[in-house]
Structure 1
């Protein structure tokens, strides 16, 4: 949970969007998280709640 990592330990990926049901990131975004610039991390972190909410509304998240 370094670098304000949004991971909450629920690692289940939606086949349609590719987003994690827990944090909203894709596998490539998770892999790149530590190497991202602070600006890019912040921009992505702002979008994650929307992704998780959208996935939950579509029934893709627990």
Structure 2
């Protein structure tokens, strides 16, 4: 067993779960629904690769969905 096997699963989830249907991404974490569904079964390397890609995805979220996500983040 390696350290990666016992470490908690890293996640970008911020509990702002709302899907932007145009981009098919979660407005909160920017993952696709497929990525969210498979997250627990992915290797740490796969999860890290996706997490590196996430910031570049922000521009794919529709302006209306992004505004709703920002509002939910402010409320907590």
TM-score, normalising length from structure 1? 0.81
Aligned counterpart in structure 2 of residue 40 of structure 1, from 12, 33, 46: 46
Does 2:12 match 1:6? yes
Q: Larger helix proportion, structure 1 or 2?
A: 2
Answer yes or no: is the 8 Å Cα contact 1:21–1:55 preserved in 2.
Answer: no
**Structure 1 CA distance for aligned equivalents of residues 46 and 38 of structure 2:** 10
Aligned length: 59
Q: CA deviation at 1:55?
A: 3.8
Offset at 1:38?
1.4
More strand by share: 2
Q: CA RMSD in A?
A: 1.5
Could you list the structure 1 runs, at least 4 aligned residues long, displaced by more than 3 angstroms after superposition.
none
